[in-house]
Structure 1
Amino acid sequence: MKHCYLLLFFLLITIYHLPAQHIYTWNTQSHHAGESMPCGGGDIGLNAWVENGDILFYLSRSGTFDENNAMLKLGRIRLQFPFSNKHFKQELRLEEGGIRISTESMQVNLWVDVFNPLVHVEIKSTTPVSIKAAYESWRYEDHLVKDAREFRTNSYKKQPSFNVKTFKDSISFKEEQVLFWHRNKGEDVFDYTVHREGMDSVKEQLYNPIKNNTFGGAMYGAGMLPAGTDSGIYADTKYQAWVLQSRKAVKTQHITIALHVGQTASLNEWTNGLNALTKLTSNKQRTQQWWKQFFERSYISINSKDTVVKAISRNYELFRYMLGCNAYGKWPTKFNGGLFTFDPRYVDEKSPYSPDFRLWGGGTMTAQNQRLVYFPMLKSGDIDMMRSQFDFYMRAWKNAELRSKVYWKHNGACFTEQLENFGLPNIMEYGPDRPAGTDPGVEYNAWLEYQWETVFEFCLMMLETERYGGKDISEYLPFIESCLTFYDEHYRQLAARRSARTLDSAGHYILYPTSSAETFKVTYNSTTVISALKVITERMLELPLDTAQRRRIAGIQQKIPPIPLRQIDGHTVLAPAETWARVQNTETPQLYPVFPWGIYGVGKPGLDTALNTWKYDPHAVKYRSHVGWRQYSIFAARLGLTADAAALTAEKFKDGPHRFPAFWGPAFDWTPDHNWGGSAMIGLQEMLMQVDGRKIYLLPAWPDNWNVSFKLHAPYNTFVEGVVKDGKIETLQVTPASRRQDVIIKP
């Protein structure tokens, strides 16, 4: 009997440690696509909803960049059959990774194979029913982009001197399938950008992801036959439909949509790739196991009767699921909607465009926003998902180095903000109509000029994957060094043009002109640049570099100026730079030494200086909020300001304006706002656990009345899991056990 009680005790403890087994449920149908639910896997995202008895879902996949570098959807599916609304449920079953739609007489399971680009629809009915599956497309004809706002969905951003079209797809019945595809052809925005940015001399050396990019798929199902075409209007957009219908009434039906994206030399080569996909058989159990381990490897589950606090851990988990849907994409999850955008009129009525629309482009990656999508993956143990973002930079690396060679005749990779997926600045942000004599390597743009340091945040993430997960990062080290080399050679060159001396009297770089984020412009010794150079060189020198590489990086390190400080009302605070010409935006770069750079914070020297900046800097105080990419919840957590961190985090995680609560935005960007969700995740993680070298700080900014069970990852292949009740840790497990000595718990 004693052994039975012990077994029961340990079983209860084990159950208490497990993450919440969430099934997110709706009990009524939706009114439109703006009330859709996300579903996905691998690198495919679906928006699914039930409207007037029809089951609909959009198809998205990583890498669907057209001639204009818009990220196009792959179409919409509509399922029709006799539908009873009695006992209706639509469930997002997180640990299975799919959606289940059920009534008293039927069940539909919608899921995506994590390991193969296949979408599955499984239909079961208690009585035989006739089933229609329609592939709907609004790209059945060329579309002339005319409205100024609509240009924001592609890389032109505004009307150039010629017409811009979204070219039609090819769609047809092929035997018992619906086949659809889009293949890029002719002159495209890559050609236009290269020419207008003066890079024609190296064009043949430049990486080009747009040429011959081909994407599409096939829909098919056993016993499903072509049943003609249809047409209609959904939201603001006309569409045509290609319909498959079951040969006879059935109780079960399995429909598959294979999606293929590839840059192929010929259409025939792409078609062969698609045909190979249609012959694959998915292992549903393997996909479900992937999602199960995904949610077991990390979680934050807050137990509270307060609905606002309860929403924090629920929405944390729902958003993490959305990130998991692009775990293995060739391209990173876009900050401005990811794989889950929908008809734009349900975001903003002033945008009556097709479902392809999103603000801030499709192939344009904005580093200041993208970073917030990927930083939380370190503590959630999802470093395998960070490869997509790293590969983005690795593919563009050579192009960034060629910019330096062409414009300034020196070495090093120069990455800008508003960066195209081929590594050059967005052409409209670059400024195609520039005054004569301007530096051709600088974006002629009040917000973006001289902002080259954001790449270092991704360098930091690369370095962190080695520390967190023991990853071999040797492939990234030359890339990181190239980014450092740019600053070394570029700013010594600029100084040499102005003076006989290339360093200041203390032997430091003269970092002018620079930028402190998008906010403090034309700066001297930008704090964001100095912080980045300081941390990246320190971290590089901790690695086993060869002698020559160590000498080069140490040489850069010794030339880095100190972080600028200033006085406000008698208080020493962090300054955004030594000097600046103007304030352009509303970021708070003077607190970037707190996050992302971790130079100041809990348990570190100079905490009072960082706290003074939070309290007294008028810019930091004026723009303090939770909206969009603002990272004040992160700053507060890293400064140990529990009440501020809790309040801002609660606001961050409040349900968004759409039916699915983790569809935030549009804020400054678009919906779903992934940099809103990412910054919220980081803030919550930092409230619970912070790290500094080998030190692990638990509960540095955690409210006593937030009871929580958690599992988070820390550097050196460590994970920490436990239960906190009334501000005290009831159970704690650190793996490996030797790391328990490095844990510091807030008293």
Structure 2
Amino acid sequence: MPDPLDAYNVVWNTQSRDPSESMPCGGGDVGLNVWVEQGELLIYLSRSGTFDELGIMPKLGRLRVRLEPNPFEADAVNFRQELRLREGFVQIAGEGRGIRATIDIWVEVFRPVIHVEISSNQPTRALAAYENWRSADRPLERAEVHSSRSWAGAPEAGIVRRDTVDFHGDQVRFFHRNSGRNVFDLLVEQQGLAHLKHELWNPLENLTYGGAIEGRDFVAAGETEGNYASTPFRAWNLQSASAGVSHELRVTLHSADAPTLGEWIDGLDRLVAEARGDGSARQRSIAWWQAFWDRSHVIINSDQPGSVPWQVGRNFQLFRYQLACNAHGSCPTKFNGGLFTFDPEFIDAELQLAPDFRKWGGTTFTAQNQRLVYWPMLKNGDFDLIRPQLEFYRRALGNARVRAREYFGIDGACFPEQIELFGLPVGYDYGWKRGADVPPGIECSAWVSYQWDTVFEFCQMALELWQHTAADITEYLPLIESCLRFYDEFYQRECLKRTGKRFSDDGKLVIFPGTACETYKNALNPSSTLAALRVVLTRLLQLPESLLARDRREHWRAMLGRVPDLAMREKDGHQTISPAWQWSHKQNCELPQLYPVYPWGLYGVGRPDLQVAIDTWRFGADDPDQKQIQSWHQDAIFCARLGLTDEAAALTIEKMRDASRRFPTFWGPGHDWVPDHNWGGSGMIGVQEMLLQVVDSKLHLLPAWPDDWDVDFKLHAPGQTVVECVYRGGRIERLRVHPEERARDVVVHRAGAQ
């Protein structure tokens, strides 16, 4: 029986013009952009958690490979480049000058090692060059400051520090070791925390990353210089000692918080030695990918390849592959490009900058964008992939607690929306020219001031992880409880300062000043915040006593009783959910009035007052730009949650159809960058919600699925539940629920589906 995943492999029969036509490849925590240009194989190297002193996430260099005689030159025939999803690698083949050659590019899942394996029917020589464009220190250019947003507006110039590259025998060794002043030092001073610096976690100090390139029978072949796009580079060259019908190159990467450079080098040497002697690494990596694809799937209109609904299913799988390339990352997959960014001039011709550039920065993370990358992993059963995002907040918790204690005198944790890797606000958003009336600890930003509630979605992810898997989440409970405690105490004190009372007349918290996302400012009791507090507290109280003791349970039950009700308002004669009780002005284009629908699930299919939520979608926006397709907009998700099948399908098509670039899921830039990962994540969530929604214990099947879209899916639900369904021709042909007793909780929504 044909593997349905094979139909989703991306195949190109012509070479690429530039890296904007590259193909993603990766594994573990390594990402590659792979393309063939003018007969040469080029590969950008990226790895999770590699950040320089300024907070830029640079490429780790570029690998260029050429064969002589060259079967990939202009007169070559039968060129083929294929992303083979099931095994997780890229294969390139071509024929020219009487030579048939195949190149496999793959990454070990359990070790950061990249393999380039070349085979041919006639002997060839292989030439390889490691290309690096960071050979000297230089000032950060004004145009590239968006790749390091904390330096935007800073009173001192940022310096991009050089890498170190050299031959080590017949090996090319390259590394960057952070030294001197870095973005952590800059922000500790900006934010008045220098006297507490000894308490704060600094992940950039002594961070050293790089690697070694070597190959069987490859020897050093000197240095050269050149230009690619707008960036000059130096190249360290290797060549095969003789012609042969097979060649292999290995790039071994290493990243560590190393007290000394010697310790980092020792660690690299150990990895290199391990990789040389491991003959089973590929089999183990393939086995991991096989198991990964067996966890879940969504296959749409398999008998109509190329149709737009088919593209939705194919792109769902392709984007899941991109996410899996950072399964074991030391840092979360970044919403603004992940591991697969490329030279910015191929996105915006005016940005003639080095390949390291990405808008919205490297060590900077935007919570409202990051969440959309990670929410779909629950239904996909990719629970291990969620850990890097949860660990991001757990590691930064100590710094967030220091902030809360120093600025507000609260034993809790305050996490900003625009957050650095180490938990402090991004310098640009904290404000380099702060008004005299802005209290310490408050961001001086028209956009994100008082936007601290976004951390609750990651708290909820940890609670959902327990709901889905019964995993021990003890290590994340301090995060959840610290964030709740901050909100409880901060807003009691704010109310006390204004009114002399801690609560409203009816004993409720008063969330003011607040903000409904970045959109409704100076808000009183924003709906997005109230929904977050209500749901996180409710889920926390559902934990067993082994995780949440009785005295803590009573404390949080009391706080839940203090959460105000959502406000309603009339729009065009319809009752709708209000963004907040009150607000002063509108700033951005989000729809926080629908956050009680998604992510918080207080309204929707199977819930009371569904019509109120539907009317909020149809009439509750204040401006047309609050409904969009690109980037982080959730329109398709909202419609799916509300059971609006036609609208959900139309929006999902626009969201998940092929991108304008050669690789189908390199969407963007939208509001963000390319490839836009919160574009793909929000689109993936929309598809999942059309197929399966969980309301309390009920499994709502096909709540917003078009009758004429055939689908074969396997998705996960709470209670260690797996739902498999084949829906074809308007009827369910197969439905399997594990464990079997959960089948009684299924509620089928499609007419005639039974």
- TM-score using structure 1 length: 0.97
Structure 2 residue aligned with 1:54: 40
The answer as to 2:236 corresponding to 1:242 is yes
Structure 1 residue aligned with 2:740: 737
Q: Deviations over 1:488-523 (max 9, x none)?
A: 110011111112211011100011001100000110
Q: Greater shift after overlay, 525-534 or 621-630?
A: 621-630
Q: Deviations over 1:690-740 (max 9, x none)?
A: 111221001100000000111111111111112101222111111111111
Q: Greater shift after overlay, 279-288 or 327-336?
A: 279-288
Structure 2 residue aligned with 1:117: 112
Q: Deviations over 1:178-201 (max 9, x none)?
A: 000000011111111001101112
Corresponding residue to 1:617 among 577, 601, 620: 620
CA distance in 2, matches of 1:351, 1:162: 23
Deviation of 1:158 (Å): 2.1
Gaps in structure 1 of 5+ consecutive residues? 1-11
Q: Greater shift after overlay, 122-131 or 39-48?
A: 122-131
Structure 2 residue aligned with 1:413: 413
Structure 2 residue aligned with 1:575: 578
CA distance in 2, matches of 1:534, 1:196: 35
Deviation of 1:671 (Å): 0.3
Work out whether residues 154 and 432 of structure 2, in 8 Å CA contact, stay in contact via their aligned partners in 1: no
Work out whether residues 20 and 301 of structure 1, in 8 Å CA contact, stay in contact via their aligned partners in 2: no
Work out whether residues 110 and 122 of structure 1, in 8 Å CA contact, stay in contact via their aligned partners in 2: yes
Structure 2 residue aligned with 1:128: 123
The answer as to 2:31 corresponding to 1:45 is yes
Matches within 5 A, 1:162-561: 162-281=156-275, 282=278, 283-303=281-301, 305=304, 307-544=307-544, 545-561=548-564
CA distance in 2, matches of 1:110, 1:622: 43
Structure 1 residue aligned with 2:78: 87
Q: 1:562 corresponds to which letter in structure 2?
A: D
Structure 2 residue aligned with 1:78: 64
Q: 2:593 corresponds to which letter in structure 1?
A: Q
Work out whether residues 333 and 339 of structure 1, in 8 Å CA contact, stay in contact via their aligned partners in 2: yes
Work out whether residues 157 and 361 of structure 1, in 8 Å CA contact, stay in contact via their aligned partners in 2: no
CA distance in 2, matches of 1:424, 1:185: 20
Q: Deviations over 1:318-361 (max 9, x none)?
A: 11100000000010000000000001111111211000000000
Q: 1:288 corresponds to which letter in structure 2?
A: I
Work out whether residues 151 and 159 of structure 1, in 8 Å CA contact, stay in contact via their aligned partners in 2: no
Work out whether residues 124 and 244 of structure 2, in 8 Å CA contact, stay in contact via their aligned partners in 1: yes
Work out whether residues 15 and 37 of structure 2, in 8 Å CA contact, stay in contact via their aligned partners in 1: yes
Deviation of 1:436 (Å): 2.2
Q: 1:735 corresponds to which letter in structure 2?
A: H
Deviation of 1:156 (Å): 3.0
Deviation of 1:280 (Å): 1.3
Deviation of 1:623 (Å): 2.4
Work out whether residues 57 and 362 of structure 2, in 8 Å CA contact, stay in contact via their aligned partners in 1: yes
Q: Greater shift after overlay, 335-344 or 301-310?
A: 301-310
Deviation of 1:159 (Å): 4.7
The answer as to 2:652 corresponding to 1:654 is no
CA distance in 2, matches of 1:367, 1:585: 16
Structure 2 residue aligned with 1:6: none
Deviation of 1:622 (Å): 4.7
Instruction: Please give the secondary structure, in 2, of the residue aligned with 1:275.
Output: helix
CA distance in 2, matches of 1:463, 1:374: 14
Matches within 5 A, 1:674-685: 674-685=677-688
CA distance in 2, matches of 1:679, 1:94: 22
Q: Deviations over 1:368-400 (max 9, x none)?
A: 000000000000000110000000000100111
Work out whether residues 316 and 656 of structure 2, in 8 Å CA contact, stay in contact via their aligned partners in 1: yes
Gaps in structure 2 of 5+ consecutive residues? none
Q: 2:174 corresponds to which letter in structure 1?
A: F
CA distance in 1, matches of 2:64, 2:332: 28
CA RMSD in angstroms comes to: 1.2
Instruction: Please give the secondary structure, in 1, of the residue aligned with 2:149.
Output: coil
Deviation of 1:164 (Å): 1.5
CA distance in 2, matches of 1:598, 1:620: 24
Matches within 5 A, 1:654-733: 654-733=657-736
Q: Greater shift after overlay, 274-283 or 440-449?
A: 274-283
Q: Deviations over 1:515-554 (max 9, x none)?
A: 1000001100010110000001100111122111111111
Work out whether residues 6 and 84 of structure 2, in 8 Å CA contact, stay in contact via their aligned partners in 1: no
Deviation of 1:121 (Å): 0.6
Instruction: Please give the secondary structure, in 2, of the residue aligned with 1:525.
Output: coil
Structure 2 residue aligned with 1:566: 569
Q: Greater shift after overlay, 575-584 or 157-166?
A: 157-166
The alignment covers a number of residue pairs equal to 732
Q: Greater shift after overlay, 676-685 or 425-434?
A: 425-434
CA distance in 1, matches of 2:343, 2:551: 54
Work out whether residues 173 and 212 of structure 2, in 8 Å CA contact, stay in contact via their aligned partners in 1: yes
Work out whether residues 19 and 300 of structure 1, in 8 Å CA contact, stay in contact via their aligned partners in 2: no
CA distance in 2, matches of 1:372, 1:302: 22
Q: 2:727 corresponds to which letter in structure 1?
A: V
Instruction: Please give the secondary structure, in 1, of the residue aligned with 2:237.
Output: strand
Instruction: Please give the secondary structure, in 2, of the residue aligned with 1:87.
Output: strand
Structure 2 residue aligned with 1:3: none
Instruction: Please give the secondary structure, in 2, of the residue aligned with 1:503.
Output: coil
Instruction: Please give the secondary structure, in 1, of the residue aligned with 2:172.
Output: strand
Work out whether residues 6 and 85 of structure 2, in 8 Å CA contact, stay in contact via their aligned partners in 1: no
Work out whether residues 19 and 710 of structure 1, in 8 Å CA contact, stay in contact via their aligned partners in 2: no
Q: 2:60 corresponds to which letter in structure 1?
A: L
Deviation of 1:72 (Å): 0.9
CA distance in 2, matches of 1:145, 1:707: 52
Q: 1:372 corresponds to which letter in structure 2?
A: L
Structure 2 residue aligned with 1:63: 49
Corresponding residue to 1:601 among 604, 612, 617: 604
Deviation of 1:21 (Å): 5.1
Deviation of 1:20 (Å): 5.3
Q: 1:151 corresponds to which letter in structure 2?
A: V
CA distance in 1, matches of 2:158, 2:195: 26
Deviation of 1:19 (Å): 4.9
Deviation of 1:482 (Å): 0.6
Deviation of 1:619 (Å): 2.4
CA distance in 2, matches of 1:356, 1:744: 49
CA distance in 2, matches of 1:587, 1:393: 24
Structure 2 residue aligned with 1:101: 92
Deviation of 1:621 (Å): 5.2
Q: Deviations over 1:291-313 (max 9, x none)?
A: 11111211100115362111101
Deviation of 1:24 (Å): 1.5
Instruction: Please give the secondary structure, in 1, of the residue aligned with 2:78.
Output: coil
Q: 1:171 corresponds to which letter in structure 2?
A: V
- TM-score using structure 2 length: 0.96
